[in-house]
Amino acid sequence: MELKDLQPAGLREGESSVGGNTMKVEIEPYSCVSSGNCLMVAPKVFDQDPEDGRVILLTEEPAAEQRGNVDKAIFLCPAQAIAWAEEDQS
């Protein structure tokens, strides 16, 4: 699969929820290997700690136009340290 073939992770353009549950970005900073790939493709969602280079999440709920970039970051992260997570509304 190539980057251009990525399909949004359970979200269609303009959607912020699946089945009534809000989708949020989650990171695992201790799994991060400081590659910087995520902030290259989604600099409005991710930053890097200036001390150790680990990922910093700028927003759990990125704007609709940023969601495709989050998908790219998930695809490009070598440490599988980024994921979408459903926030249970019940």
DSSP state of 88: -
Residue 11 found at the interface with ligand SF4 (CB under 6 A): no
Q: Which of 23, 25, 37, 67 binds ligand SF4 (CB under 6 A)?
A: 37
Nearest distance in Å: CB 32, ligand SF4: 3
Cβ atoms of residues 86 and 23 within 8 Å: yes
Number of residues that bind ligand SF4 (CB under 6 A): 13
Residue 36 found at the interface with ligand SF4 (CB under 6 A): yes
With respect to ligand SF4, which residue has the nearer C-beta, 23 or 38? 38
CA atoms within 13 A on the CB side of 2: 1
Q: Which stretch binds ligand SF4 (CB under 6 A): 8-16, 18-26, 58-66, 77-85?
A: 77-85
With respect to ligand SF4, which residue has the nearer C-beta, 21 or 31? 31
**Strand intervals (E) in the chain:** 17-18, 21-27, 46-48, 55-57, 82-87
CB atoms within 10 A of CB 74: 19
